[in-house]
Structure 1
Amino acid sequence: MSLAKPFNTRPLYQQVADEFISRIVSKTWAPGQAIENEAEIARSLGISLGTVRKAFDILTEHKLLERHQGKGTIVADFEGGKMRSRFSNVFDRSGNRISGEVSVAKVVLATAPPEAADILGVNGRTPVLQFERRRTHLGRLFMTEEVFLRVDASAKTMSQEGLESMATARWTGQDLATHKREKATAEAATAADKRNFKLTGEAAILRLQRVICSYQDRPLELRIARCHLGNDLVYATS
């Protein structure tokens, strides 16, 4: 297998990491699967063991692979509870990270507003998947999100059902997210916030702008969230 592409000036170990990520995205390496050892992979790719180890280090650092004593290297389970909530800074009073029960609505493929297009690094004429996401905890709505998701050209031919499935799967079908950039501000609750969160009188909400990124820092998803955490949830950056 040849990893190098014409005019690709990135270090070889980063190209190898890209190859490994494509295997995870395509589920050639499935969640929970133990993969062959580094020496075997180096021989199969015709590259040095040190290069493979550097690539493994990148994926391990970003929690895409897990190294277990006596079990070897295992692909992370991205559908597990800890992985689903890894981008959330909302915690319950026991210190558990909370992502909530999620529902998705109003899924459309459309050109992004200028600010969203700029944050995602897409052309202003390039369609992105736009939808609303609502998160509940113990039956109480605590977050609404306006979401803009980068998609590839194949999305243009998808049915509405396919688009809704993509909104639920998010970026897992096209890339792997490893980290986020987040800005938090307090704002006065709007009329819509008061309806959604059942607030009365003067009230404030927490606004979060979150950009979910790949390990190469490529923006994959923009979330504009409005939160009312109540007495049972807290926001913390650590």
Structure 2
Amino acid sequence: MSLAKPFNTRPLYQQVADEFIARIVSRAWAPGQSIENEAEIARSLGISLGTVRKAFDILTEHKLLERQQGKGTVVTDFTTGKMRSRFSNVVDRSGERVSGEVEIGGVHLAVAPADAADLLQVNARTPVLQFERRRTHFGRMFMTEEVYLRVDASARDLSQDALEQLAFARWTGHDLATHKRESVTAEAATAADKRNFKIKEDTSILKLRRLICSYQDRPLELRFARVHLGSDLVYASA
């Protein structure tokens, strides 16, 4: 099997990493599956063992693969609680990342505002999936979110139920989210924050903007969030 394409100037190990990611996206390599011996993969692709190892290192760095004692290299299962909260900078007092219990509403296709379209790198007329998310921790709401999810053109043909399922699934299973870019500022709570978080109107809250991207830096999801940490949660910048 030849991985090189005409005029492809990217290093071979990156092309190999792309091939492995395609296998994960297509579920040829399923979540939790142990991957065959690296030497066998190198022989089947007709490339060096060192190239395969460099590709594996990339995927391990992005947490798409895990090296487990006694099992070798395993495809990461993104459905576990730990992986679902991997992009959260909100932690509890023990340092555990908190994603909370999630409630979604207002799911619909819409043309994104200009700033959102620019960040998602979509045409100003291209529909995105827009919805609201609310997160609670032990029964207390701590985050409200306005979310814009990049979707394929086929989303226009989906039923409302299918759109809502897509909002819950987000990028899991059809693309591989590996990193984020997040900014945070503090400001006084608004009247809406007061209602949502049951706090005084002048209480300080956090305003977050987070862009989740794929391995190749393709924007997948943009969210604008408002957060009230309370006494039990902390925002960890690292």
Is the structural similarity TM-score above 0.5? yes
Q: Distance in 2 between matches of 1:6 and 1:123?
A: 29
Q: Residue in 2 aligned with 1:44?
A: 44
Q: Distance in 2 between matches of 1:62 and 1:146?
A: 26
Name the SS of the counterpart of 2:185 in structure 1.
Answer: strand
Moved more, 5-14 or 84-93: 5-14
Structure 2 matches for 1:121-132, cutoff 5 A?
121-132=121-132
State the shift of 1:8 in Å. Answer: 3.0
Contact 1:136 1:142 in 2 (8 A): yes
Pairing 1:198–2:219 present: no
Pairing 1:179–2:142 present: no
State the shift of 1:216 in Å. Answer: 2.0
Name the SS of the counterpart of 1:15 in structure 2.
Answer: helix
Q: Residue in 1 aligned with 2:134?
A: 134
Name the SS of the counterpart of 2:47 in structure 1.
Answer: coil
Contact 1:187 1:206 in 2 (8 A): yes
Q: Distance in 1 between matches of 2:6 and 2:150?
A: 25
How high is the TM-score relative to the length of structure 2?
0.94
Q: Distance in 2 between matches of 1:30 and 1:158?
A: 26
Q: Distance in 2 between matches of 1:155 and 1:182?
A: 27
Q: Residue in 1 aligned with 2:102?
A: 102
Distance 1:153 1:10, change over 3 A: farther
Q: What are the ranges of 5 or more consecutive residues in structure 1 without an aligned counterpart?
A: none
Structure 2 matches for 1:82-231, cutoff 5 A?
82-231=82-231
Contact 1:21 1:175 in 2 (8 A): no
RMSD over aligned Cα, in angstroms?
1.4
Q: Residue in 1 aligned with 2:56?
A: 56
Q: Distance in 2 between matches of 1:25 and 1:216?
A: 13
Distance 1:47 1:156, change over 3 A: farther
State the shift of 1:26 in Å. Answer: 2.0
Distance 1:88 1:189, change over 3 A: same
Contact 1:92 1:98 in 2 (8 A): yes
Percentage of matched positions with identical amino acids: 79
Q: Amino acid of the residue matched to residue 29 of structure 2?
A: W
State the shift of 1:11 in Å. Answer: 2.0
Q: Distance in 1 between matches of 2:3 and 2:103?
A: 39
Contact 2:90 2:97 in 1 (8 A): yes
Q: Residue in 2 aligned with 1:74?
A: 74
Deviation track 1:97-145 (CA, whole Å, cap 9, x = no partner) reads 1110111111111221100011111111111111111110001100011
Name the SS of the counterpart of 1:171 in structure 2.
Answer: coil
Name the SS of the counterpart of 1:173 in structure 2.
Answer: coil
Q: Distance in 2 between matches of 1:132 and 1:177?
A: 20
Q: Residue in 2 aligned with 1:17?
A: 17
Q: Residue in 2 aligned with 1:65?
A: 65
Q: Distance in 2 between matches of 1:123 and 1:4?
A: 31
